[in-house]
Amino acid sequence: MTDIFDRLKNAEGPLEQYRKKAEGYFMFPELEGEIGPRMRFLGKEVITWSLNNYLGLANHPEVREADAKAAADWGMAYPMGARMMSGQTKYHRELEEKLAAFEKKEAAYLLNYGYQGMVSIIDSLVSRNDVIVYDSEAHACIMDGIFLHKAKGGKSFVYPHNDMDRCDKMLGFATKKAEETGGGILVITEGVFGMSGDLGNLPGIVKLRKKYKFRLMIDDAHGFGTMGKTGAGASEHFGLVDEVDIYFGTFAKSMAGIGAFVASEKTIVNSLKYNMRSQIFAKSLPMPMVIGALKRLEIIQTQPQHRENLWKIAQSLQQGLVAEGFNIGNTQSPVTPVYFSGSVPEGTNIVIDLRENHNIFCSIVLYPVVPKGVLMLRLIPTASHTQKDVEETIEVFKKVKANLEAGKYISNEIKSMSTTI
């Protein structure tokens, strides 16, 4: 037997092992100033490519005005209690109705947080007799929901990312299992994969309905507001709104807020309302966020210029990088990954060079998120970025690429950049 605290003190996890060298710099960095394409990091102005403020709504004057007025009118406490008990308001219902209409679904239900909400949706949708089939690059919140399903005795099958031949095979296994248990099948994928920027293969999955019976849920956190003719997401982009049985979107990205929602048939949403413990036993979403979300949704629907400018900047950035010989993978969304070959210490030295010498702030993704020997710099363009930001960044990346190829970032260990220890 061991003491839990002693084990935690002596067994650092895959991220915590870098804490002493990374905290305050690579991890938990503190960006200061108004949210936008140029902020301050450790006292210096940097071009910021790490924020999911896709449509630039964080500091849109109408949004700031709505947020401020709602906070003044209601405070942060109202409504008190869970919605089922005392936290229901007409504004919560109004937001749900408008979200459902936007997604062309019968009903929608607000969630306090996207991550927590997805875990709870999966937990509430499937029983131990049901089978889940999911993409191998599914977000951590989906994985935690699946882990909870498996802990209750449920079964799941995973297919390699967007591989429809293997998805077909996994659905065959799932069908056999569901026939044994008397359960059903839930397929889960993402609308836009937030790391690589490619889209879930919704057309391929839908085509498999000719062979198998299943329900389809998509996590469209990065697609809501950015994809499709009106910004309704990846399902709209593919023209498959009616084929997606359960649509999940978040307010934390295009809406520049907090919270999320799930949309589906009215009977299914009612079932979730009365079974999702993360909502039944949690305080209602505060009124300023609800009023603010109503304003944000209105802007998404009535001011398409923000989405249009996002895509203008994204395409300029992506085309410019490709023209200079950079590998941006298979992105089909504004998310822009830039792939290099190198070690983890080389990757961290690139980030240091970008931030210290070139005033570029972006996120780096290393093993095990990407294969060993692969480095990924993840750029998130927004409607607030300018062509000047794009041009400056591409010029800097050209220098970084030359330095990497010349071996200037080679090191045997990660340089300590911690600002807190």
Distance CA 226, CA 386 (A): 18
Phi, psi at 173, each rounded to 5°: -60, -45
Note the pLDDT tens digit of each residue in 370-418: 888 899 999 999 999 999 999 999 999 999 999 999 999 999 898 989 8
Q: Is the pLDDT of residue 368 over 80?
A: no
Residue 174 CA, distance from chain mean position: 27
Q: 149 and 292 share a domain?
A: yes
> Do the bridges between strand 107-111 and strand 363-365 make them parallel or antiparallel, or are there none, so unpaired?
unpaired
Element at 159 (helix H, strand E): strand 155-159
Distance CA 408, CA 60 (A): 42
Q: Is the pLDDT of residue 173 over 90?
A: yes
Q: 229 and 368 share a domain?
A: no
Note the pLDDT tens digit of each residue in 202-237: 999 999 999 999 999 999 999 999 999 999 999 999
Q: 278 and 363 share a domain?
A: no
Distance CA 86, CA 79 (A): 7
The answer as to whether 3 is a domain residue is no
Q: 317 and 352 share a domain?
A: yes
**Segments in 197-304 forming alpha helices (H):** 202-207, 234-237, 266-273, 277-280, 287-302
CATH number at residue 15: 3.90.1150.10
* DSSP three-state, residue 387: helix
Do the beta carbons of residue 396 and residue 360 sit within 8 Å?
yes
Find the mean pLDDT for residues 280-302: 97
Distance CA 4, CA 83 (A): 36
Q: Tell me, what's the pLDDT at 141?
A: 96
Note the pLDDT tens digit of each residue in 6-61: 999 888 888 888 899 999 999 999 999 999 999 999 999 999 999 999 999 999 99
Percentage of residues in the chain having pLDDT higher than 70? 100
Q: Tell me, what's the pLDDT at 10?
A: 86
Return the number of other C-beta atoms located less than 10 Å from residue 130's C-beta.
21
The answer as to whether 204 is a domain residue is yes
Residues of the domain holding 138: 61-302
Do the beta carbons of residue 254 and residue 58 sit within 8 Å?
no
Q: 267 and 401 share a domain?
A: no
Name the pLDDT band for 420 (thresholds 50, 70, 90): confident
Find the mean pLDDT for residues 347-372: 91
Report helix angle 114-125 to 140-151, nearest 10.
30
Q: 124 and 254 share a domain?
A: yes
Q: 105 and 218 share a domain?
A: yes
Distance CA 360, CA 354 (A): 5
Q: What angle do CA 285, 287, 291 make, to 5 degrees?
A: 110
Q: 24 and 67 share a domain?
A: no
Find the mean pLDDT for residues 131-157: 97
Name the residue with tokens 């002493």.
Answer: 20
Residues 6+ away with beta carbon under 8 Å from 231? 224, 225, 254, 300, 301, 304, 307
Name the pLDDT band for 143 (thresholds 50, 70, 90): very high
Note the pLDDT tens digit of each residue in 183-209: 999 999 999 999 999 999 999 999 999
Q: 236 and 383 share a domain?
A: no
Strand partners, 263: 108, 247
From residue 272, alpha-carbon distances to 124, 261, 264, 281 in Å are: 6, 11, 10, 13
21 token code pair: 């060298």
Q: Which of 302, 335, 355 is the last residue of a domain?
A: 302
Give 355: exposed, middle or buried? Use CB within 10 Å, 0-12, 13-18, 19+: buried
Return the number of other C-beta atoms located less than 10 Å from residue 275's C-beta.
14
Phi, psi at 238, each rounded to 5°: -90, -5
* DSSP three-state, residue 182: coil
- Mean pLDDT score of the chain, rounded to an integer? 96
Q: Tell me, what's the pLDDT at 248?
A: 98
Element at 70 (helix H, strand E): helix 61-74
First to last CA, the chain: 32
Q: 40 and 121 share a domain?
A: no
Residue 420 C-beta-side C-alpha neighbours within 13 Å:
12
Q: Is the pLDDT of residue 421 over 70?
A: no
Name the pLDDT band for 174 (thresholds 50, 70, 90): very high
The answer as to whether 418 is a domain residue is no
From residue 115, alpha-carbon distances to 59, 121, 225, 308, 415 in Å are: 24, 10, 18, 28, 32
Virtual torsion, Cα 217, 220, 223, 229, nearest 10 deg: 40
pTM, full prediction: 0.96
Q: 202 and 189 share a domain?
A: yes
Prior bond to 29 cis, omega within 30?
A: no
Q: 144 and 190 share a domain?
A: yes
Q: Which of 302, 324, 355 is the last residue of a domain?
A: 302
The answer as to whether 415 is a domain residue is no
Closest by CA to 414, choosing from 48, 19, 28, 14, is: 19
